[in-house]
Structure 1
Amino acid sequence: MKKLLMALMAFVLLGCDPLDKKYDQEKHEQVMADHADSASRVAFRRAMVENEVNDVRNEEFTYQELIDQGKALERKNPAVRSGAR
């Protein structure tokens, strides 16, 4: 029984992905720096800007939802790279 309880606790702790938590304006920079790769950070920033332009509160989303929004925006409207020939 003790082994089952320990396994369950380990599963719960490992399942707590910080990117699945709600956006926090004061902590977002540190969370993204610690837990997201560079592509996810770019997508996250793109979603934040898009939401700000459209007057949508980022606090309504998790970090992962914002990353997914940014990636969807990138697929819909690919960024034009400066210096492209």
Structure 2
Amino acid sequence: MRCEWCGEAEVTNEKGNVYWELPDGTRAITIEQVPVLNCKKCGMEYQEENVINEIEDQLMLIDTKKLNDRLTYEELLKIPKFLKKNYFRF
């Protein structure tokens, strides 16, 4: 796998924290232990598109008013959904 920023081949899979604005824009939360890619050359730490989509879809499909300001990625994905899918993703 190559770094999406600099093209370096030495990219490692790790866990990191991300800060996400809720879909309604009322606040941001910290999501811990999120799968991230870390480039040793340029220092970028980022999420793959499928992880971003999972987080965004889950936040669209749950009651975000009940969320704590901090939770893990696994905890977020285990929260029961209102809808079966994100109808805004085409």
| Shorter-chain TM-score range | 0.3 to 0.5
Q: Which protein is richer in strand relative to its size?
A: 2
Higher relative contact order (CA 8 A, sep 6+): 1
What TM-score, normalized to structure 2?
Answer: 0.35
In our comparison, the structure showing a higher alpha carbon Rg is 1
Q: Which protein is richer in helix relative to its size?
A: 1
